[in-house]
Amino acid sequence: MEGVILSPMPNKKNVPARETKTAKTAKANQTNGGETHQRATTDLLLTTNQGLPISDNQNSLKGGDRGPTLLEDFILREKITHFDHERIPERIVHARGSGAHGYFQPYKSMKHVTSANFLSDPKIKTPVFVRFSTVAGGAGSVDLPRDVRGFAVKFYTQEGNFDLVGNNIPVFFIQDAIKFPDLIHSVKMEADRGYPQAGSAHDTFWDFVSLMPEALHMVMWAMSDRAIPRSFRMMEGFGVNTFRLVNSEGMSKFVKFHWRPVLGTAAVLWDEAVKISGADPDYHRRDLFEAIASGNFPEFEFGLQILDDKTADKLPFDVLDATKLIPEELVPVEIVGKMVLDRNPDNFFAETEQVAFCPSHVVPGIDFSEDPLLQGRLFSYLDTQLSRLGSPNFHQLPINAPKCPFANMQRDGHMQMMVHKGRGNYEPNSIEPKGERETPTGFRTAPIPLEGTKVRLRAESFKDHYSQARLFYRSVTPQEQKHIAMALTFELSKVDIPEIRKKMLGHLSVIDEKLGAKVADGLGMTGEAIAATPAAKPIDLDQSPALRLYGKYKPTLKGRKVGILLADGFDAKLKDALVAAVKKEGATPAIIAPKVGGVMDSAGKKIMAEVALSGSPSIMFDAVAVLAGPVGDKSLSAEPDSISFLLDADRHLKAIAVAGAPNLAKKTHVDGVVGVTDLRANGDISKFIDFARNGKVWERDTA
């Protein structure tokens, strides 16, 4: 076994005088089933967790070479025990995650609205750890289900850790945290059958939604392309709940937190998502890891929507309602800084899996609102970490530990890793005059007046469940509207109970009559809707173009991938020019060939491929090109993988370039189609790049 590390053999003077032949042979050869293991040439010793050097890592201690294993073998027990406990309980939600290290730096001081140190000085770089995730699936599910994405950021500030725990959607399904277990039970695998995994297209979820119209706004977002993002790097993030900013004078204002990807937003089509999940279940995880490893660091700008209580009171909805958003046209987002993710985790388990986020982790200058969903989260997250990580000392794990000094009177507990000194483990005390003490500059809760009677009621201002769902649907682009209708039709077609479908059609008709009609027609249930009776009459809010996914960011190819399929006889100069143009845009070209060994160019020179066509369908790229000669064109035209390569690229609205492959273009019906550039006819690489910058070629979106 190459690479096995064995500690030095004992010196002769330490070997017992009488040793059996069997024992001598075992020590001499270090055998395991007859295979000889040589000591590796390294000074690093293999030891137990206590530092004891191990002389034999190949064999357990037995009573004779064919005898039973002895309970005395503490090395075996330590090794197996640790292995048995390598997995901790996965998160109930957000179980599948990907993480990255980086830093945050403000553009300007925000001292006038918050005393938070990390937002006060543009010179301060605050370390961060970010975890992106899906919500519904388990840790072993795929990256691209239709689902909400988690966007959680741990700021290691000079005043302690601040955890901004959000999603890629600015609202949530429910208004009160007491409904969270019901929501998650409904969307998770059904209790009697254990499926579906990571999917909402089943009876229990839609039954819950049909009976809880407060979820309808979030459902519209979840059925949009926001729920199938192209990459974590091209995904917006939101704090969801309303928080407060508090300045040094104690003045407070409401705030909504926003993250804006510098690369802009992008999504895949549903058919792409389905096929990507089969071709690469780790699509998003791989994309994030490879981008950082190659130096293409993801960047996100940090924005704040700040409003005072008087402005909040004038809005036609309640800012404490987590199912509502504040349109940017009413309260603009102020961009105040940027986050750069520049380092991958060294160990997935120790960092990405063990990182513990809690909304209750705030710093001076940031406080909570009375949002009933947030209020429940303040308890729930801490309780979850205690269950998952098994100890109140989870904050001592390196990924969770503050990077500033921290000290308190908390002691002992499971997995205590600190060695506390002194007698004074209580406060106040006089026997440790230099011990921990409170400080006037520490966290102070904003002095918000409260009055009321203890009740279990929902505020009247929370009653409108349809107006913002209508706002979102009518604000997005026609393509997004069509995809929402298609997603709803697909999801509801998976619902077995007709009454649930009928109730949902009633809700959709209240949101938008045309939407309800489209979905009903798609289901073959026109005229079967059960009318919904809103608790509050919906109102038509002014449209908010800021809610759109497409068209609000500057077109770019930066951070994207372009697949270039080569076949025998291709023009090498044209290939080099295309590769150079793609790199100039900040994108990554990938050279594909029918076989990974490569192909011959027109001059007879063999060019190696980076990936083989069979393992690199067009779904893995943002734009594609096919370069060939007569021989290669003939070969590609008879190859199912190359035909699918172009057919899918066309169906998925990708920019396509073709040179020297007229037969393949004709066979796949892409010849002359909008967004398809014939490079050999006009040599216009820039035309192809222009199409690719725009992402999807929406003019082809007819099906």
539 within some domain: yes
Same domain (yes/no): 381, 278: yes
Inside any domain, residue 425: no
79 and 129 within one domain: no
Is residue 206 a contact partner of residue 161, using CB atoms and an 8 Å limit? no
Name the domain count of the chain: 4
By percentage, how much of the chain surpasses pLDDT 70? Answer: 94
- Residue 457 banded pLDDT, cuts 50, 70, 90: confident
pLDDT at 9: 36
Q: Which one of 396, 415, 431 terminates a domain?
A: 396
- Which of 37, 101, 117, 167 does the annotation list as catalytic? 167
Report the pLDDT value the prediction gives residue 19, as an integer from 0 to 100: 38
Catalytic residue among 37, 94, 202, 507: 94
How sure is the predictor about 30, in pLDDT bands with cuts at 50, 70 and 90? very low
**Which positions ≥6 away from 643 have C-beta within 8 Å?**
636, 637, 664, 667, 668
Q: Are 578 and 627 in contact (CB under 8 A)?
A: yes
Domain end call among 379, 396, 413: 396
Task: Identify whether 167 is a catalytic site residue.
Answer: yes
Residues 532 and 655 in one domain: no
Res 452: pLDDT:
83
Of 416, 417, 395, 421, the closest CA to residue 406 belongs to 395
Average pLDDT value for residue range 466-478: 98
Say what the pLDDT of residue 285 is: 98
Does residue 602 share a domain with residue 668?
Answer: yes
Answer whether residue 21 shows pLDDT above 90: no
> 123 and 264 share a domain?
yes
Q: Are residues 157 and 255 in the same domain?
A: yes
Lookup: tokens for 256: 């909504």
Answer yes or no: do 156 and 261 share one domain. Answer: yes
Residue 398 — pLDDT band, cuts 50, 70, 90?
Answer: very high
Q: What is the mean pLDDT of residues 536-559?
A: 96
Mean pLDDT, residues 377-404: 92
Residue 12's pLDDT is: 36
Query: Are 138 and 271 contained in the same domain?
Result: yes
Q: Is residue 373 part of a domain?
A: yes
Please report, for residues 191, 261, 390, the alpha-carbon distance to residue 240 in angstroms, rounded to integers and kept in the order given.
29, 17, 28
Are 125 and 270 contained in the same domain? yes
Both structure tokens of 109: 């001081």
Cross-strand bridge partners of residue 259:
237, 302
Q: Is residue 213 part of a domain?
A: no
Torsion region of 30: left, alpha or beta (phi above 0 gives left; psi -120 to 50 gives alpha): left
Asked whether residue 292 falls in the same domain as residue 322, the answer is yes
What is the per-residue pLDDT for 58? 86
Mean pLDDT within 99-103 = 98
Backbone angles phi and psi of 521, in degrees to 5: -65, -40
- The CATH number given to whatever domain includes residue 616 is 3.40.50.880
pLDDT for 33: 40
- For 102-116, the pLDDT digits (tens) are 999 999 999 999 999
Q: Is 75 helix (H, G, I), strand (E, B) or coil?
A: helix
- Asked whether the whole model's pTM tops 0.85, one would answer yes
pLDDT digits (tens, 9 = 90+) for 116-152: 999 999 999 999 999 999 999 999 999 999 999 999 9
Has residue 608 been placed in a domain?
Answer: yes
Residue 122 lies in a domain: yes
450 in a structural domain? no
Phi, psi of 364 (to 5 degrees): -55, 135
How many residues does this entry show for the chain?
Answer: 703
Active site residue 258: no
Residue at token pair 């289900």: 145
CB atoms within 10 A of CB 565: 31
CATH number at residue 487: 1.20.1370.20
As a whole number of angstroms, the distance between CA 314 and CA 393 comes to 45
Range of the domain at 478: 466-547
Contact 135, 149 (CB under 8 A): yes
In which band, very low, low, confident or very high, does the pLDDT at 29 lie, cut at 50, 70 and 90? very low
* For residue 3, pLDDT beyond 60: no
| Averaged pLDDT of the chain | 91
Would residue 204 count as lying in a domain? no
Structure tokens given for 138: 């388990």
41: confidence class by pLDDT, cuts 50, 70, 90: low
pLDDT bracket for residue 408 (50, 70, 90): confident
- Same domain? 101 vs 48: no
Q: What's the confidence (pLDDT) of residue 682?
A: 65
Q: For 194-219, what is the mean pLDDT?
A: 97
According to DSSP, the β-strands at 623-627 and 561-566 are parallel
